């Protein structure tokens, strides 16, 4: 990657500042020796200005170095990390503006504390490489952090959804479905909807939908269900209604071109959930659900059927409304996939509100096999027939995290993935149990709710006699050994 003008100005300024300090010259000293003003030299050192040839010559003479040495882009070893940083894609690929950071301000920070800040940024880059984190994965991590920061509830998107519903006189008791959406997209935006299957397009078998801007066509996979088609069309409506141009053209990510695509996809998806699952109706149903003395899985099944939605869309919507409308915000959300009959679990979605909760991603460790998120996948595999795509399981559990000392009510729904052969998915919401939660969810005292002792991973678990264990507790043992060493050293003093 070639350096742009801003980067060249920064490198020159850093070199000038370093050489001035090595010569033990103040800004005033260099000003007097070169004939340049203090303010002008200061602007150069901050990377804001690049001097003309005659001024560079004056600075070189004042510093008693060669002109070519001063204008060279080669930095000293101390400042080499900055050169590596500028030659990388870091400054252009990271969405600084999304965090309210002006990249120009970052460059100024680099000029003020070059070695420490560049070393810090280089450390982040190296950590990303060590964990094989791509730019795309970084974008998704940023998006996840953004959702967690706002408790996954976005009033401005709620207002846009409500405005759409009001403009089209859609009453709260009317359920939007795929037929309404297909007609609306056709009449309002001139969208044509066509269908494809894996026989004609085998390489696209795992894609739910494709949008073709040139012909204004939405191609939909024949294998997806009616509620999935409704979400697909509602998401497309979100892009169009909000006037979003920079967006992915496929339902599943094939490639990510920018962070704006990731962010805009989230906004359109949120809009889709908000118009398909009306806030007031869901709040009413959840209020009755939480007021019940007993946990009834059929109530959740009725919500899924009543809103004509996928379990994942429903739990996402519940996850969004709980903090804002019920004051319940100590939550986590997990999505696991696994081949039917396999225990090769993949965590594909994860959100934590308020704090990082105990169940969390551990790529190099084995998740606790007592988690209901995993057990429900095993249970589904045992009861489904080959090719059966409409099976649905709902299970709940109170999980005691024995080492952390936390307790959660965990609700999980599992079903087959209809566009992935022989693959099941589980979607889970976990509620950290405290006195506040007990006062808001009455069925937590239901004696029929099963309770299990669980942990984060086998490698961290202190339950040596666990029959579900699939790996030795090596991390826990190492921690105990370290603590024993510290204690032994303390005894010497």
DSSP one-letter string for 150-187: TTT--HHHHHHHHHHHHHTT--TTPPP-HHHHHHHHHH
For the residues 21-33, what does the mean pLDDT come to?
91
- List strands edge to edge, sheet with 451-454: 346-352, 331-339, 423-432, 406-416, 393-401, 451-454
Instruction: Give the CA angle between residues 470, 348, 209 to the nearest 5°.
Output: 145
Helices and strands of the chain, counted as H and E runs? 20, 9
Residue 345, pLDDT above cutoff 80: yes
Rg of the chain, C-alpha, whole Å: 29
Higher-scoring residue by pLDDT: 356, 75: 356
- Nearest to 98, CA basis, from 260, 261, 270, 244: 260
What are the two backbone dihedrals, phi and then psi, of residue 460, each rounded to the nearest 5 degrees? -105, 0
> Which of 102-116, 147-161, 441-455 has the lowest average pLDDT?
102-116
Q: Parallel, antiparallel, or unpaired for β 393-401 and 406-416?
A: antiparallel
In the prediction, which pLDDT does 13 show?
Answer: 85
> Which of 78-87, 312-321, 391-400 has the lowest average pLDDT?
78-87
For the residues 134-160, what does the mean pLDDT come to?
90
Structure tokens at 121: 């940024």
In the prediction, which pLDDT does 1 show?
Answer: 41
- Paired with 411 in beta bridges are 396, 429
**pLDDT above 70 coverage of the chain, percent:** 89
Residue 2, pLDDT above cutoff 60: no
For the residues 133-146, what does the mean pLDDT come to?
83
Q: How far is CA 218 from CA 94, 147, 164, in A?
A: 31, 28, 21
**pLDDT above 90 coverage of the chain, percent:** 64
pLDDT digits 0-9 by tens, 287-308: 999 999 999 999 999 999 999 8
User: In angstroms, rounded to a whole number, what is the distance separating the alpha carbons of residues 20 and 63?
Assistant: 7
In the prediction, which pLDDT does 184 show?
Answer: 97
Residue 493, pLDDT above cutoff 80: no
For the residues 457-463, what does the mean pLDDT come to?
90
Q: What is the largest CA-CA distance in the chain?
A: 87
CB 452 within 8 A of CB 400: yes
For the residues 131-142, what does the mean pLDDT come to?
77
For the residues 165-180, what does the mean pLDDT come to?
93
What residue spans in the chain does CATH classification 1.10.10.2910 cover? 149-276
Residue 168, pLDDT above cutoff 90: yes
Q: How confident is the model at residue 384 (pLDDT cuts 50, 70, 90)?
A: confident
In the prediction, which pLDDT does 282 show?
Answer: 96
May I ask the CATH class of domain 149-276?
mainly alpha
Residue 466, pLDDT above cutoff 60: yes
Return the DSSP state at 367.
Answer: B
Q: How confident is the model at residue 35 (pLDDT cuts 50, 70, 90)?
A: very high
In the prediction, which pLDDT does 142 show?
Answer: 85
In the prediction, which pLDDT does 102 show?
Answer: 67
Instruction: Give the CA angle between residues 405, 406, 409 to the nearest 5°.
Output: 145
Return the DSSP state at 428.
Answer: E
Burial profile 267-296: b = 16 or more Cβ within 10 angstroms, e = fewer = bbbbbbbbbbbbbeebeebbeebbeeeebe
What residue spans in the chain does CATH classification 1.10.260.40 cover? 5-133
pLDDT digits 0-9 by tens, 42-90: 888 888 889 999 999 999 999 999 998 888 877 666 666 666 666 666 6
Query: Counting Cβ atoms within 10 Å, is residue 362 exposed (0-12), middle (13-18) or buried (19+)?
Result: middle
Burial profile 101-137: b = 16 or more Cβ within 10 angstroms, e = fewer = eeeeeebeebbeebbebbeebbeebeebeeeeeeeee
> Which of 1-15, 28-42, 370-384, 473-487 has the lowest average pLDDT?
1-15
- Nearest to 21, CA basis, from 53, 61, 63, 56: 63
Higher-scoring residue by pLDDT: 142, 311: 311
For the residues 425-447, what does the mean pLDDT come to?
95
5-133 falls under which CATH superfamily? lambda repressor-like DNA-binding domains (1.10.260.40)
């Amino acid at each position: 990657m070639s350096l742009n003008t801003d980067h060249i100005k920064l490198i020159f300024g850093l070199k000038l500042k370093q050489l001035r300090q090595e010569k033990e010259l103040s800004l005033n000293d260099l000003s007097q020796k070169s004939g340049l003003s203090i303010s002008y030299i200061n602007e150069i050192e901050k990377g804001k200005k690049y001097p003309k040839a005659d001024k560079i010559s004056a600075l070189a003479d004042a510093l008693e170095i060669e002109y070519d040495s001063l204008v060279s882009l080669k930095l000293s070893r101390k400042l080499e990390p900055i050169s590596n940083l500028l030659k990388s894609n870091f400054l252009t690929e990271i969405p600084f503006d999304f965090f309210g950071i002006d990249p120009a301000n970052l460059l100024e920070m680099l000029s003020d504390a070059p070695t420490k800040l560049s070393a810090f940024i280089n450390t982040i880059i190296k950590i990303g490489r060590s964990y094989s984190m791509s730019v795309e994965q970084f974008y998704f991590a940023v998006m996840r952090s953004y959702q967690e920061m706002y408790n996954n509830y976005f009033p401005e998107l709620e207002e846009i959804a409500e405005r759409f519903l009001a403009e089209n006189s859609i009453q709260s008791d009317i359920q939007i479905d795929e037929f309404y959406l297909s007609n609306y997209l056709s009449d309002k935006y001139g969208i044509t909807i066509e269908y494809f299957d894996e026989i004609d397009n085998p390489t696209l078998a795992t894609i739910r939908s494709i949008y073709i801007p040139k012909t204004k066509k939405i191609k939909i996979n024949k294998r997806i269900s009616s509620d999935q088609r409704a979400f697909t069309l509602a998401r497309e409506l979100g892009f169009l209604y909000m006037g979003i141009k920079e967006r992915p053209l496929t339902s599943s990510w094939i490639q990510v071109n920018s962070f704006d695509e990731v962010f805009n996809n989230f906004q359109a998806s949120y809009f889709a959930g908000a118009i398909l699952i009306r806030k007031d109706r869901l709040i009413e149903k959840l209020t009755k659900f939480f007021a019940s003395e007993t946990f009834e899985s059929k109530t959740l099944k009725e919500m899924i059927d009543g809103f004509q939605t996928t379990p994942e869309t429903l739990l996402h919507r519940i996850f969004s409304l709980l903090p804002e409308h019920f004051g319940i915000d100590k939550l986590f959300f997990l999505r696991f996939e696994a081949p039917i009959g396999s225990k090769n679990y993949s965590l594909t979605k994860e959100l934590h509100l308020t704090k990082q909760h105990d169940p969390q991603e551990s790529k190099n460790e084995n998740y606790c096999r007592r988690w209901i998120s995993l057990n429900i996948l095993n249970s589904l595999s045992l009861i489904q027939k080959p090719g059966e795509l409409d099976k649905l399981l709902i299970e709940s559990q109170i999980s005691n995290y024995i080492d952390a000392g936390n307790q959660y009510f965990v609700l999980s729904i599992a079903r087959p993935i209809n566009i992935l052969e022989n693959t099941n998915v589980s979607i889970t919401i976990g509620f950290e149990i405290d006195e506040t939660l007990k006062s808001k969810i009455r069925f937590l005292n239901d004696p029929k709710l099963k309770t299990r002792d669980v942990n984060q991973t086998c490698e961290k678990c202190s339950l040596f006699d666990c029959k579900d264990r699939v790996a030795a507790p090596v991390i826990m043992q190492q921690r105990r050994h370290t603590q024993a060493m510290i204690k032994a050293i303390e005894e010497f003093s």
